[in-house]
Amino acid sequence: MNEISSKQKGDLLEKIVEKLCADYENANVTRNAKIKGKSGVERQIDVLIEATYKSFDIKIVIEAKNYSTKVDIGIVEEVKTKIGDVGGNLGAIVCPLGFTDGAIKAAAQHDIQLFQVFDHALGNTTQWIPLRYVVPYVKSFQLRIEHRASGGGSFEIPTDTTKWRFHLDEKILDQKELVTYAWNSEMFPQDKEGEHTADFGVVKIGTADNLDKFYYLELKLNVIVVADYYLKLFPASFMKNVVSGKGNHQLSIDAYSKKEDMVGHGWKHFDTREAMNEAAQPYDTSKDMKGLVFTEGYTIG
């Protein structure tokens, strides 16, 4: 990373912390906030999180310190004073290089949480997070009539199933539309590959040639669900609590409806789950984000 000024380093750290905190539910996150304290002095807060939990207003004060050394006890005392002055409910200090033993003990006494930040832009990590993205779809299907229930005219069902028409929910569907109906109605699992059966029970079935003639038949739909597999490496960006070791990661996922668009935006396509997992394995080193898989759930238009 090119040399940058101390202010630029501080601004960069604040932006990263703001981004890592931005996805907190029902919260307003502000960088470089200004609050007039009880002392009458205007206080600058690196990252301020304001949220409402039930009937309670919560204010979290985060100080980001991009120091060349570990944060010492003096900074913890300063942050404690600032939190009390602005009426903060919770305080936290973030420093990429960590904290001295004295700072860790003092923070525990004052209920201030301490975090280290790791990000490629800070130059303190080279870790990548492998995200597996699975897109299931119906590869093939077969219609099966179990029993004839009753008839509405004398005719024979043609062997060409493309001519069959199915009366469902006041609509008349062809066989492909029937598969779409079963998929959108979750009549078989979308996230489990293999052979599945959608049981429609007794259905009114006619033909495209003559919709006025029909049978009531017991209908089943056998489908083979397969999937496309994708893998993309995302640069690691996370905060880790120095006491508990728990991490808060930032992962902005992009996905596209077409295979060529996925590949064009950096996703690598695989024909099998095993090949995808083999490619991800060397990068799957994060304890918090290990084995990350996103399976697409969607409806067909």
Domain boundaries, the chain: 6-122, 130-232+257-301
Per-residue pLDDT tens digits for 71-105 = 999 999 999 999 999 999 999 999 999 999 999 99
Structure-model confidence comparison of residues 195 and 161, the more confident one: 195
Rounded Cα–Cα distance for residues 23 and 13 (Å): 17
Rounded Cα distance between 148 and 265, Å, is 51
CA 212, CA 179: separation in Å to the nearest integer?
Answer: 23
pLDDT above 60 (res 152)? no
pLDDT digits (tens, 9 = 90+) for 180-228: 999 999 999 988 899 999 999 999 998 888 877 888 889 999 999 999 9
What confidence tier does 10 reach under pLDDT thresholds 50, 70, 90?
confident
Residue percentage of the chain with pLDDT more than 90: 64
Distances in whole angstroms, Cα of residue 79 to Cα of each of 57, 167, 196: 20, 69, 59
> Please, are residues 112 and 91 in contact by the beta-carbon 8 Å criterion?
yes
* Nearest Cα residue to 251 out of 20, 76, 56: 20
For 237-265, what is the mean pLDDT? 90
Fold of 6-122: Trna Endonuclease; Chain: A, domain 1 (3.40.1350)
**Per-residue confidence band for 297, with pLDDT thresholds at 50, 70 and 90:** confident
Average pLDDT rounded to a whole number, residues 269-286: 95
Ordered alpha helix ranges (H), the chain: 6-21, 73-86, 101-109, 175-184, 259-264, 273-280
Q: What's the distance, Cα to Cα, between the start and end of the chain in Å? A: 47
